[in-house]
Chains A and B, each alone.
Chain A
Amino acid sequence: MHIRLEDRTPRPAPPTPQRKEEGEGPTRPDVKRPDNSDLLRRMRRVDPDAARRYRQRSGQ
């Protein structure tokens, strides 16, 4: 397998398609961060030893 070690000079970047105002894109949340009180409650309920006990068979 031939992998080149040298870098090539990158070509100038062309313009990329612009985001449209609406439609097609993923649904973006309205806020930068959610109300995290529910998440903090969830995190506090996590058993701190859960990962220590978690064992799986090795898969693919």
Chain B
Amino acid sequence: MRMMGLETEYGIAVEGCPVEELLDAGMEIVRAYPGPHVALWDYGPESPRRDLRGFTAPMLAQDPEDARYDRADRPRTPVEVERSDRVLANGARFYNDHGHPEYATPECRTVDDLVAHDRAGEGVVLAAAEAYESATGKHVRVYRNNTDFHGATYGCHESYLTRRCVPLAALVEGLTPFLVTRQAFCGAGKAGIEDGGAARPGFQMSQRADFVVVPLSVDTLYNRPLFNTRDEPHAPAAELVRLHVILGDANMSEWATAMKAGTTSLALELVEQGWRPPVAPPDPVAAVKAVSREIGLGPLGALSATGRWSAVDVQRSYLDAAARAFGGRDAGTDRVLREWTDVLDDLRADPESAFDRVDWVAKRSLLRQFADEEGLDSVDPAMQSLDLAYHDLHPEHGLQVGLRQAGAVCQWVTEEAVTQALAAPPADTRAAIRGHFVRRHPAELLSVCWSGLEVGYRGGRERIDLGRLAQADLTRWRERLARAVDLDETMTIMSQLEGR
């Protein structure tokens, strides 16, 4: 499969900490992380304002509501201090993104690796929060969600490497119906609906749909788009594009995380091959909200000019094309195709039967059950507190964590794979090189970014270009690095790799 990654911003509640102080709390939590790491992130190569449409935006839009929480008396903090980037021994990046501890997985080539590393991220954030609690005596709760129910949202972004020769218009046309409707099986569910500052009771599939404002844009902080046009490949820009999907929810279900990435990668592959979907939502922004709020999964006028298509129908059109094109290719692809088939069949026949895989179904079921048991109205404000608790990572309090512990939800990977992912990078991507240096030569590392490293060696600075290794299978080189006895041997192997 292609190179992929996930970045998850976690919500935090810190005892005695008002929202105005969350920037500092997030920073301190990240800095408390006790595992092996280096703090040498190089921000120089980053270009979040560069747009796939061929220009660079003068600035990114900022949320004026959020700006109310900026304290005038807070000392201006340099970006490297506020973000407090950590590069971990598994090749991941862990940092503070505007008051949210954020874990970016290392680059992964398989869905299994991606899920294992994403789950490992939960362990990283919890370890940092526990260390912060021990140091400060303040209790911390960590939430893997995307909403505070009061207008703020924070993301779980996906990255998929693709070829620059695929026109942007083809990507947008080819993927929009898919992105609008995939929430049917990878929506995390939300109690409540927010519409531009107005909130009302209800239940919807997605946590992020309320915050999609425009069809496409480079922005991520405000006026968020359905299709993000950020052009920051972290790889040779002449050849490659990193499709940056910011629409998705942070799933508690690892099955949903796997299927979100696995199906999106296959849909992208269809588009790369020239396939186009049979339907086009007339207004994609309206459609993503309509799908999220029409949890009956029936035909929706917002999905097509005829109004005959349901979200499941649209997904089925992608599945059928992907099965024709890629079925039987490899075990990982077949696994995604099988699960895609099953869940669409289940959603069509009886959505409740997807309780063990689909977050919004599980959450809605738990909330309904609790309301029935306690005699509450389904729109009682306490439903949002239960929604929040669904995303609590605390082993004794989290509702979805309780489902995991009870063996009531599907696992995609083993706990052993998650433990392994905490310690080691994927074996076959450039993350293996990054992780090797963090583990074995942290004192010699001078800077790190996604596309390269700088190493102090023999009195000079050696730059190792990871950009052009973005698509390389480095399994054999990683094995050689693992046997290297010292920095000299490591650098010799790197020279051979760069000169290959």
Contact = CB atoms under 8 A, between A and B. Distances in A.
Contact of A5 (B11, B216, B280, B357): B280
Contact of A58 (B63, B319, B339): B63
Q: Which of A2, A31, A58 has the largest number of chain B CB atoms within 10 A?
A: A58
Interface size class of B (residues with CB under 8 A): 35 or more
Given A17-B337, A30-B407, A39-B399, A8 B278 contact: yes
B338 A29 contact: no
Interface size class of A (residues with CB under 8 A): 35 or more
Interface string A34-60: 111011101111111111101111111
Given A7-B304, A59-B97, A54 B148 contact: yes
Interface in A1-20: 1-11, 13-20
A2 to B, nearest CB: 6
B327 A17 contact: yes
A34 B362 CA distance: 11
B409 interface: yes
Q: Which of A35, A52, A56 has the largest number of chain B CB atoms within 10 A?
A: A56
B331 A24 contact: yes
B389 A43 contact: yes
B123 interface: no
Contact of B320 (A14, A27, A32): A14
B79 interface: no
Contact of A26 (B98, B255, B324, B374): B255
Interface string B139-179: 00000000011111111010000000000010011001000
Given A26-B410, A45-B397, A55 B173 contact: no
A46 B100 contact: no
Contacts of A11: 278, 320
Nearest to A38: B402
B477 interface: no
A59 B99 contact: yes
A4 B278 CA distance: 10
8 contacts: A8-B278, A17-B323, A25-B339, A26-B258, A46-B389, A55-B148, A56-B19, A60-B154
